[in-house]
Amino acid sequence: MAQEVDIREGDLDEHVEQARQWIASGFIIVAPLEHGYAFLADAFSHDAVRAIHVLRGDDLGVVAQVMVADTSVLSGITREVPTGARTLMDAFWPGLLSFTLLPHRGLSWDLGDDKRLDEVSVRVPSSEFMLRLLRKTGPLAVASAARVGQPATLDVSSIPALDRDLAGIFHAGELESGPSSTIVLATETELLVERVGAITLEQLAEVLPAILEDTTPE
């Protein structure tokens, strides 16, 4: 049975350590992000990542995002981080800005695409609980704790999972709804804004005037 932990009460470091232990044992947990609860697992645990996709009802080929504690982790999981991307990371991380980067080819993970897409979405979240956890666990696979096509889950009572599917649910009460992250594709030659979310194109351009918006029809 999934254990519920209110991270607003008690010792936060103890809660983080419990979450770390469950993740290290290959289990899935739920924790709050900025505007919704998320499923979390070790990014290198194929079974746990696959189980997240099953809980969500994802189609084959859907890829989980990876969250890290800071930019120092990127050298171990990506082939290259362009200078412009690092400039934006310094300005907006932690926060609601995601980057699509090239992963190292030798990584032993499968985020849902059997490594066929040759890309990974990476973000540093602003949640203090998540940041402390990521410093202990390393990269985590993350996906919204909601069925595919449904809005973000703001209350743990609405999480689409049975108790036996999860080791623990770390919650902070009902969360406030809000915008999703802005997504930037970082290539060797340019940075493209693939989706505008919490951070606007104007805000990005103030930091990096050369950034472009992707105008390719969907």
pLDDT level of residue 32 (50, 70, 90 thresholds): very high
pLDDT at 17: 98
Q: What CATH code is carried by the domain that includes residue 196?
A: 3.90.870.10
Summarize the confidence of residues 76-84 as an average pLDDT: 94
Q: Is residue 87 part of a domain?
A: yes
Q: Is residue 118 part of a domain?
A: yes
pLDDT at 208: 94
Cα 80 from Cα 136, distance rounded (Å): 24
Cα 47 from Cα 210, distance rounded (Å): 41
**Average pLDDT of the chain to the nearest whole number:** 94
For residue 116, CA distances in Å to 17, 61, 103, 112 come to: 34, 9, 11, 9
Residue type, 143: A
Cα 48 from Cα 41, distance rounded (Å): 6
HEC readout, 42-58: ECCCHHHHHHHHHHHCC
Q: Is residue 218 part of a domain?
A: no
Cα 216 from Cα 214, distance rounded (Å): 6
The DSSP element (H or E) to which 129 belongs, if any, is helix 128-137
pLDDT at 116: 85
Q: Is residue 51 part of a domain?
A: yes
Q: Is residue 50 part of a domain?
A: yes
Q: Is residue 78 part of a domain?
A: yes
Its pTM stands at 0.93
Backbone angles phi, psi at 83, to 5 degrees: -55, -40
Range(s) of the domain holding residue 100: 3-172+179-213
pLDDT level of residue 188 (50, 70, 90 thresholds): confident
Give 106 or 204, the one with higher predicted confidence: 204
pLDDT level of residue 218 (50, 70, 90 thresholds): low
pLDDT at 145: 97
Q: What is the tally of structural domains in the chain?
A: 1
Q: Is residue 114 part of a domain?
A: yes
Summarize the confidence of residues 14-22 as an average pLDDT: 98
**What percentage of residues in the chain have a pLDDT greater than 90?**
87
